[in-house]
A = this chain, B = another copy of it.
Amino acid sequence: MKNTLRAALLPLVLALAIPAAAAPAPPRAPAPAVTVKRIVEGIRAGNGAYAHLTRLCDDVGHRLSGSPQLEKAVEWAVATMRADGLENVRTEPVMVRRWIRGAESATLLEPRETPLHILGLGNSVGTPPEGVTAEVVLARSLADFEALGEKVKGRIVLFGNAMPAFDARKGTGYGETVGFRLRGPKMAAEKGAVGVLIRSVTAHSLGSPHTGVTLYGDSKVRIPGAALSVEDAELVARLIEGGRKVVVRLKMEARDAGEVPSANVIGELRGRELPDEFVVLGGHLDSWDVGQGAHDDGAGVVMAMEAVAALKRLDLRPRRTLRVVLWTNEENGGAGADQYAEDHRAELDRHVAAIESDMGGFKPRGFGVAMADKAAEARAVQSLGKLTALLKPLGATTVLPDMAGADVGALVEKGVPGMLLLVDESKYFDYHHSAADTLDKVDPAALTEATAAMAAMGWLLAETPARLDAAPAGKSARPAQGVKAAGGPAEKGKR
């Protein structure tokens, strides 16, 4: 492929007036399927993503926004991308809010005393030092919650809705289940509650609670929220449903430690013809403060890093620039995503696509795509259908509309085609935001296949002359910048 590369660089070479006498006659570029095969084989041979993930998980561990571990992860990512030969490796400063969990506990006091397994919700306020002690009322649904009416006042509300088991047809059920984690504390505070417990958002539990962000919005009164393990949530729910009075004491030292500096980490493989057009491959470098953030989103981070490093190793320099972006603060703020969109606003019309992987390091299935302009999105779906046909050996041929990673949401709003790597998500939420999101849950072979899918798609998007959302003749390919995608694409991704 050296020859091909040189041939592709020829116009540039000539323009720079470097003697070209020795250049061979330009050979025909290999068919895309040939290059994809080479990429897949190169990534399978390297197994580099898993090696990187091992270092991130074991040497750094989890890495919540503002923590020393996240800063260590930033340093690691910069050093690793440089060692892998990526270009323009750098950090871009982002201010993030630092939330600190502190010690936390919950105790069932009535009808009998026993400790409960909790994880405070991310961004939750803490309790007074003596805790919040109150009777617990149960809502398994929004209708239940509304029916409680005045009974919420002065009480702790347990949102006990259960996440269904994964269903290949219906999906994970996460989106339909997570609402009370996101908005339960706000909703309950508005009705006079003093605290909120949720049933951990997972369909399978072996005793560990699952955290995740809660959103107070503009609420003036903020009450603490925590996730119970499924086991303990079911215990409390059974007691209440059996007519018992349940009293719980919730103690949380959680606090907001203000704004602190963090960074997005960036590395590139510069395009040979259109270096100022970009295809972004990325994941988020931050994680929750439990487990190792292996699937969420260490996997996405190392896939993007290795996808581009492998192309570099294979001497495959695409037409456009491939840019690795490792966002900070996806889990509890999204400041990294917003800052990237702001810092790069002048070049967003030259962002051909931005793919995030944030559903774990599982076997790839295909890609989702979201655009603010739904007509353009429909065209992008069609274009992707042709490209993913080349990914059949990886099983990554599914293309879904209206779906992008949370960190590319801010780009989608500004007209960029945002994408999400689709994977086998049947086990993702078993580990998600819990002590179980660790390296041992990552199958190296699956991670390699997912990395190959990212690399091949990145290559195809950066190499194919036509843009993904190319308009029919006579129409603008992009809507005006700032058009907001219907439904809010960030909400459609996962958090």
- Mark A residues whose CB is within 8 Å of B: 54, 57-61, 111-112, 114, 117, 204-208, 229-231, 234-235, 238-239, 242, 291-292, 430-431, 434-436, 438-440
Contact = CB atoms under 8 A, between A and B. Distances in A.
- In the assembly, how many copies of this chain are there? 2
A231 B438 contact: yes
Contacts of A208: 206-208, 435
A206 B434 contact: yes
A422 B374 CA distance: 59
Contact of A238 (B205, B229, B439): B439
Contact of A435 (B60, B207, B242, B434): B207
Contacts of A239: 58
A292 B430 CA distance: 22
A291 B234 CA distance: 12
Given A206-B436, A207-B207, A207-B291, A58 B431 contact: no
In this complex, which of A208, A231, A239, A291 has the most chain B Cβ atoms within 10 angstroms of its Cβ? Answer: A231
B434 A207 contact: yes
Given A61-B114, A234-B438, A234-B440, 20 more contacts: A58-B239, A58-B242, A117-B435, A205-B206, A206-B206, A206-B207, A206-B430, A206-B435, A207-B207, A207-B291, A207-B436, A207-B438, A208-B208, A208-B435, A230-B440, A231-B435, A231-B436, A231-B440, A235-B438, A238-B439
Contacts of A111: 59
B205 A58 contact: no
Contacts of A431: 206
A239 B242 CA distance: 48
In this complex, which of A58, A114, A204, A292 has the most chain B Cβ atoms within 10 angstroms of its Cβ? Answer: A58
Contacts of A439: 234-235, 238
A238 B206 contact: no
24 contacts: A58-B238, A58-B239, A59-B112, A60-B112, A61-B112, A61-B114, A117-B435, A206-B206, A206-B435, A207-B208, A207-B291, A207-B434, A207-B435, A208-B208, A229-B435, A230-B440, A231-B291, A231-B435, A231-B436, A231-B440, A234-B438, A234-B439, A235-B438, A235-B439
A114 B61 CA distance: 8
A114 B60 CA distance: 10
Contacts of A434: 206-207
A104 to B, nearest CB: 13
Contacts of A235: 57-58, 292, 438-439
Closest 7 CB pairs of A and B: A207-B435, A207-B208, A206-B206, A206-B436, A207-B436, A231-B438, A234-B440
A239 B234 CA distance: 37
B204 A238 contact: no
Nearest to A237: B440
A229 to B, nearest CB: 7
A292 B117 CA distance: 13
Given A112-B59, A435-B117, A435-B229, A238 B54 contact: yes
Nearest to A62: B114
Contacts of A234: 438-440
A72 to B, nearest CB: 9
A203 to B, nearest CB: 11
Contacts of A60: 112
A399 to B, nearest CB: 32
A435 B114 CA distance: 12
A262 B404 CA distance: 61
A205 B61 contact: no
A406 B431 CA distance: 35
A19 to B, nearest CB: 49
In this complex, which of A111, A239, A292, A438 has the most chain B Cβ atoms within 10 angstroms of its Cβ? Answer: A438
Nearest to A57: B235
A140 to B, nearest CB: 14
In this complex, which of A238, A439, A440 has the most chain B Cβ atoms within 10 angstroms of its Cβ? Answer: A440
A129 to B, nearest CB: 20
Contacts of A292: 235
Nearest to A290: B207
Contacts of A430: 206
A238 to B, nearest CB: 6
A231 B112 CA distance: 32
Contacts of A117: 435
A205 B242 CA distance: 31
